[in-house]
């Protein structure tokens, strides 16, 4: 095992000018995409069954044992350019044992090596579990798509398969808000993500305000991915999405970092309305557009099987396993040989763009060959 030296200087603060999850940074630095980010799926259990869940079909009510953590840490240690890790599920904090035996050790490893960490949680578990992450975690990423507890009840348990009492849903909703406020007060960066979909597109400014009231320091906005449970939901038109983003930008708090990701608008578009929106976003204070990390600088590892995927949710088969391959080698194979990567692997430096998300490209631009396009109007 290679032993890489930990960073000794204090890490740079995450900010609109420093987002190590964005693959454009490593692409510019190395002149090619390299693996800088590893995401772990640490559970398929969850106490919720959201209408839009992009991994809904993988959720279970029981699960077996994970691979030994050491196997994963040994593989991580070999990743030469590692800068970030992300932990996802299911609900990663669902079992106290996962927090103690997997999540905290992974975060400790990240901290000691000087790399940044994120966890995706619904924040409805007891505070005592989250508190354990305070010394190590960089970003607590939550999903927030509601204007009240009724919305949460309707959206959060849509696929439960049985009725969930409204007061039970309200208890979880209030726990999430209270946990967010408390963790934020205790110094954790809460980054709340709202998806733009058929329910939220007219309510984004209201949702934004609630997110700030919860103490979140960053608001992320992404289109809904048309995957798993969400594949049965109506797809928003590009026009509705543009209108929703303009409305949010009109009303948002400009002092708060607003991160847009995987948007279906590109600098190579011939549409004036796309160029207008992109120009506005580039000019707005504290607004960033993150390129999609999936398959660009990140892979997902399933901690039960060791299988490696391009993302935790896309319906793309595993393309390697940590049992017999290094993560850097698996990533190079994906980059150089996989036909799906070739489809969206474009890059326009002046636009700061390295191509669309696979699902978004499929959803809105099935006929477009992005490799033949170039950014215009810059
Ligand atoms: S990198 Fe690809 S998607 Fe982005 S502007 Fe250039 S051609 Fe369009």
Which tens digit of pLDDT belongs to each residue from 292-342?
Answer: 998 899 999 999 999 999 876 667 889 899 999 999 999 999 899 888 888
Neighbours of 96 (CB within 10 A): 13
Is the predicted pLDDT of residue 228 greater than 80, yes or no?
no
CA of 235 to the centre of ligand 1 (A): 23
Average pLDDT, the chain: 92
> Residue 9's pLDDT is what?
60
Lowest mean pLDDT among 1-5, 276-280, 284-288, 319-323: 1-5
Is the predicted pLDDT of residue 4 greater than 80, yes or no?
no
Using pLDDT thresholds of 50, 70 and 90, give the confidence band for residue 5. very low
343 CB less than 6 Å from ligand 1?
no
One DSSP character per residue, 6-52 reads PP-SPPPPPBTTB-TT-HHHHHHHHSS----EEEEE--S--S---TT
152 neighbors 165 (Cβ within 8 angstroms)? no
Using pLDDT thresholds of 50, 70 and 90, give the confidence band for residue 51. confident
Q: Give buried/exposed letters for 214-229 (b at 16+ CB in 10 A, else e).
A: bbbbbbbbbbbbbbbb
Mutate to test the pocket of ligand 1, among 290, 358, 375 (most ligand atoms within 8 A of CB): 375
Which alpha helices (DSSP H) does 80-165 contain, by range? 96-98, 104-113, 127-131, 149-156
Whole-number percent of the chain with pLDDT over 90: 78
Backbone dihedral angles phi then psi of residue 233, each to the nearest 5 degrees:
-90, 155
The H or E element spanning position 55 is none
Which tens digit of pLDDT belongs to each residue from 122-150?
Answer: 999 999 999 999 999 999 999 999 999 99
Mutate to test the pocket of ligand 1, among 264, 267, 356, 361 (most ligand atoms within 8 A of CB): 267
307 neighbors 370 (Cβ within 8 angstroms)? no
Q: What's the CATH code, domain 23-339?
A: 3.20.20.70
């Amino acid at each position: 095992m290679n032993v890489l030296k930990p960073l000794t200087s204090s890490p740079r603060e995450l900010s609109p000018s420093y987002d190590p999850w964005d693959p454009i940074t490593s692409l510019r630095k190395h002149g090619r995409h390299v693996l800088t980010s590893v995401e772990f799926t640490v559970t398929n259990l969850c106490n919720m069954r959201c209408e839009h869940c992009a991994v809904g079909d993988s959720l279970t009510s029981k699960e077996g044992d994970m691979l030994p953590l050491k196997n994963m840490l040994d593989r991580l240690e070999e990743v030469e350019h590692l800068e970030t890790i992300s932990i996802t599920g299911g609900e990663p904090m669902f079992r106290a044992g996962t927090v103690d035996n997997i999540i905290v050790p992974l975060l400790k490893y990240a901290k000691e090596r000087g790399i940044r960490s994120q966890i995706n949680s619904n924040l409805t578990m007891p505070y005592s579990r989250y508190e354990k992450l305070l010394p190590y975690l960089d970003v607590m990423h939550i999903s927030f798509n509601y204007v009240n507890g009724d919305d949460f009840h309707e959206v959060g348990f849509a696929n439960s398969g049985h009725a969930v009492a409204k007061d039970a849903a309200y208890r979880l909703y209030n726990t999430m808000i209270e946990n967010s406020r408390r963790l934020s007060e205790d110094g954790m960066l809460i980054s709340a993500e709202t998806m733009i979909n058929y329910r939220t597109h007219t309510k984004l400014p209201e949702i934004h305000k609630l997110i700030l009231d919860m103490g979140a320091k960053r608001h992320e906005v992404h289109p809904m991915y048309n995957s798993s449970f969400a594949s049965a939901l109506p797809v928003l038109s590009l026009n509705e999405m543009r209108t929703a983003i303009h409305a949010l930008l009109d009303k948002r708090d400009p002092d708060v970092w607003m991160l847009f990701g995987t948007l279906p608008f590109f600098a190579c578009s011939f549409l004036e309305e796309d160029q207008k929106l992109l120009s506005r976003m580039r000019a707005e204070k504290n607004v960033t557009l993150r390129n999609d990390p999936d398959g660009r600088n990140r892979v997902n590892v399933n901690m039960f099987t060791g299988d490696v995927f391009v993302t935790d949710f896309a319906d793309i088969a595993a393309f390697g396993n940590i049992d017999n391959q290094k993560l850097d080698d698996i990533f190079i194979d994906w980059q150089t040989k996989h036909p799906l990567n070739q489809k969206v692997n474009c890059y326009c430096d002046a636009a700061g763009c390295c191509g669309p998300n696979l699902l978004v490209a499929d959803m809105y631009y099935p006929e477009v060959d992005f490799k033949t396009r170039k950014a215009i109007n810059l």
